[in-house]
Amino acid sequence: MSFTELNHLSDYDNVLVVDANGITIFYDLADLHILKHLGLKPEEFLRKSVTSFYKNLSIEDSTLMTVLRTGKPLWNAEQELTSNNGFTYTSRSSTFPIHNGTSIVGAIEL
């Protein structure tokens, strides 16, 4: 399956979009549940690095940052995430680069 074969984004439980620097620019309502557990308000999550909210997530092992760096999609990747406030959960997602011509301008995680 390729990204172009995916249906509507509303078919997915979770949608997170970052820019080329890994800064959160969009998340869907399903993420509000996670934000509550992270102890964050929606406005505190936007325009921040996706790795800044987790004790155990770096630019080297984040799925979003990996896709931004390599330009290759990741399918059904599992990550155990521990937030800065100690909340731990397992995330399973697929992550795709967003291109503008030959440049990677962001990534989307479903």
Count of beta carbons in the 10 Å neighbourhood of residue 55: 11
pTM for this predicted structure: 0.82
Please state which architecture CATH assigns to domain 3-109. 2-Layer Sandwich (3.30)
Contact status, residue 106 vs residue 18, Cβ threshold 8 Å: yes
Structure confidence at residue 72 (pLDDT): 97
First to last CA, the chain: 14
Share of the chain above pLDDT 90, in %: 56
Round the average pLDDT of the chain to a whole number and report it: 85
pLDDT at 50 over 50: yes
